[in-house]
Chains A and B, each alone.
Chain A
Amino acid sequence: MDIYLVGMNHKTAPVEIRERIAQVCRLNASPLEHRTHCRAVEELFFLSTCNRVEFLFTTSNGLQAVEEMTDLMVRLVDLPKDVVVNHLYVHRNLDAVRHLFRVASSLDSMVVGEPQILGQIKDAYREATQYRTVGVVLNRLLHKTFSVAKRVRTETNIGCHAVSVSYAAVTLAKKIFGELQGKRVMLLGAGEMAELAAEHFRSNGVRNMVIVNRTLERAVELARRFHAQTIPFSHFLDALLQVDIVLCSTAAAEPILRAEDLKPRMRKRKNRPLFFIDIAMPRNVDPKIHDLDNVYLYDIDDLKGIVDFNLSERRHEAEKAQHIIDTETLQFQQWLQTLDVVPTIIALRRKAEEIRRAELRKTLSQLPELSDKEKEAIGVLTETIIKKLLHDPIVFLKKKSVRDSKNAYVNFTQQLFNLDQEDAPTSSLDCTDG
């Protein structure tokens, strides 16, 4: 049995194909419905995000299974097969496991460290369990994936640094104000960047916004969207008394706010902190206001500088994360290797149990005078003897399962106990946990 991963992502597929991938993400029908048509595939898991489509599966016939999955992928993205094949990657066994761990830990994302991917994998797993396409191996692998991703989150700072301009602005605001609930934000100008930052502020708890824009229609439109107030452009200086964060993005050719305008207003505000985010070009706010006490001004270059610094921090943290993933991959490999001895262990237990039952039946038939309690006691006694007798050979086999010579030991055990391995049910592999 092998684990395979077949997929496409932002690194292997150009933008035209990624557009198709993004559409796959929005499909209502799950490709897991086609699981029954893929004869070579045993367990199947399907992940799709805006930037990736991946099939993870187990199979005993790798070539055929990869072919079937490729065909399914072709149907999904609705492109010629040769185009799709050119951008596919196929990982097998440890490479597949490592890849999945990297994806879940967000090391393989377009923005390294972005937290959404783990949630998407969990959703995909939920879907796979609903379709009952995952079994012992993928269940174990996916649970391991969640714990690896969690370990990476807690043991590294990979997700701690803001890597977009608008998110960096929100992070800075939190450094000044702590929680943003109850804070009041003024949007001075209403461009797209301002809208994006406002969205970030809203998702961080800001409910109180004021829109100031020269064009009233746009101000009203945004105000409706953010349940905000509008204020005439000529009144914005006085409105500064009541706000905590100001996001400037007007198209003014020169600064519309100067230090000398703000200084007297800071006194009236009793020096409550005021944070300006100036994303306009040319800048809207006189840089000198940053020198005032309790006033903080960050322009677009400052924010970009923070983003660049944070990206380099994330790359540094990604090295630590990779080390964790490599360690966990090796541990998973050990578990996978134990699977090879499981059928023999099951066959051994089954044979012993059959002998025990047969002999118990014979013996009890010759002792009719025994009470039920006594029969039960003898039954327990035989069970305990069998369990203790098999304990050492089973432990021995499990230990050997991680070695290259495991096949010799498996053969030897089968000959020694005259086991018929074909009878062993492979679906009960989880007995290795015991």
Chain B
Amino acid sequence: MEHILLILAACGYCVGSVGYFFFLVRNGENVHRAAWISLVGGMLFHGAAIGMRFFAAGHLEVSTLSEALSFFSWLLVVTYLVIQNRLGLRILGTFVAPLAAAFTLPSTILPSHMMPASPLLKSVWVWIHVSTLFAANALFAVAFAAAVLYLYQERIIKKKRPGSLDDRLPALERLDRVNHVCLLMGFPLMTLGLLAGFLYASTVWKSPWNWDPKEIFALITWFIYAILLHERLAVGWRGRKAAWLAIFGFSAVLITFLGVNLFLKGHHTLFSSQ
């Protein structure tokens, strides 16, 4: 049942992606409504699947790569829907829906058996660590989408050559604001998630810092976003520079989240594709 719900969620995201693509190239209230309903439907199926797994395991299940991808894509869609509701940038769905589909589809194919319940995973610190970091990553993904749109729109304005899509894109200031808001919300969550991780590591492995590859990459990612936040608030970075750094930061997130899990061994191998 849970797998069927996951497949339905992936279908919802795929249909939503197609709908948002049509919405991008040709404006239309009905097209957007259909895309939005598909995305929301996918999110509800997905939420039900994650909820079922949560109750079956008795705790948040992100032990395997399949579960991690699934949980991340669900949070991404939820984050986008909240941001769209608050800031109203519908066109961002053009990025978020395919991103959610791209993360959910592998999780429907990868082995979905539940890992034997490890006592290590039942701590509340793990729950805080995982949920805050995943929420931060989802916000950074939305910031990434806004940054890409910003660079495209800015390029059109700078090149002074109107294109067929530029009328469909939001104003530069709005895109920059989404980027900024995602950073303002995502960075404290990321910091909280890392602190929870260090605290938990110090109780389990007797040291907060264990030179684990994931720890190293997570800290690098944190520094990238710390620099971005500092430059934005203190120096007044905005626009193109901030957009590039948001893209760079999300690339670091992807490396930390996927690359390290897949290719490097460490304490977080627990959260790998086994």
Determine if chain A interacts with chain B.
Answer: yes
The answer to whether the Cβ of B171 comes within 8 Å of any Cβ in the partner chain is yes
CB-based contact B172/A310 at 8 Å = no
The answer to whether the Cβ of B212 comes within 8 Å of any Cβ in the partner chain is no
CB-based contact B157/A293 at 8 Å = no
Chain B residues lying within 8 Å of A161, measured Cβ to Cβ, are 167
Given known contacts A176-B172, A273-B172, A273-B173, is B153 in contact with A305 (CB within 8 Å)? no
CB-based contact A293/B162 at 8 Å = no
B217-237, CB under 8 A of A: which get 1 and which 0?
Answer: 000000000000000000111
Chain B residues numbered 84-141 whose CB sits less than 8 Å from any CB in chain A: none
In the complex, the number of residue pairs spanning A and B with C-beta atoms less than 8 Å apart equals: 52
CB-based contact B173/A178 at 8 Å = yes
Chain A residues lying within 8 Å of B153, measured Cβ to Cβ, are 175
Central interface residue in A174, A272, A294, A309, by most chain B CB within 10 Å:
A294
CB-based contact B239/A296 at 8 Å = no
The answer to whether the Cβ of B240 comes within 8 Å of any Cβ in the partner chain is yes
CB-based contact A293/B240 at 8 Å = yes
The answer to whether the Cβ of B160 comes within 8 Å of any Cβ in the partner chain is yes
Residue ID in chain A nearest B237 by CB atoms: A271
CB-based contact A309/B157 at 8 Å = no
Chain B residues lying within 8 Å of A294, measured Cβ to Cβ, are 238-240
How far, in whole Å, are A290 and B155 apart by their CA atoms in the complex? 12
How far, in whole Å, are A305 and B161 apart by their CA atoms in the complex? 8
How far, in whole Å, are A157 and B26 apart by their CA atoms in the complex? 10
CB-based contact B172/A267 at 8 Å = no
Residue ID in chain B nearest A176 by CB atoms: B172
Given known contacts A175-B157, A176-B157, A296-B157, is B238 in contact with A272 (CB within 8 Å)? yes
Chain A residues numbered 289-312 whose CB sits less than 8 Å from any CB in chain B: 290, 293-294, 296, 298, 302, 305-306, 309-310
Residues of A within 8 A of B (CB): 157, 160-161, 172, 174-178, 267, 269-273, 290, 293-294, 296, 298, 302, 305-306, 309-310
Residues of B within 8 A of A (CB): 153, 157-158, 160, 162, 166-167, 169-174, 235-241
Q: Which 5 A-B pairs have the closest CB atoms?
A: A270-B236, A178-B171, A294-B239, A271-B236, A178-B174
A selection of 9 A-B contacts at a CB cut-off of 8 Å is A176-B173, A177-B171, A270-B236, A271-B238, A271-B239, A290-B158, A293-B239, A293-B241, A298-B160
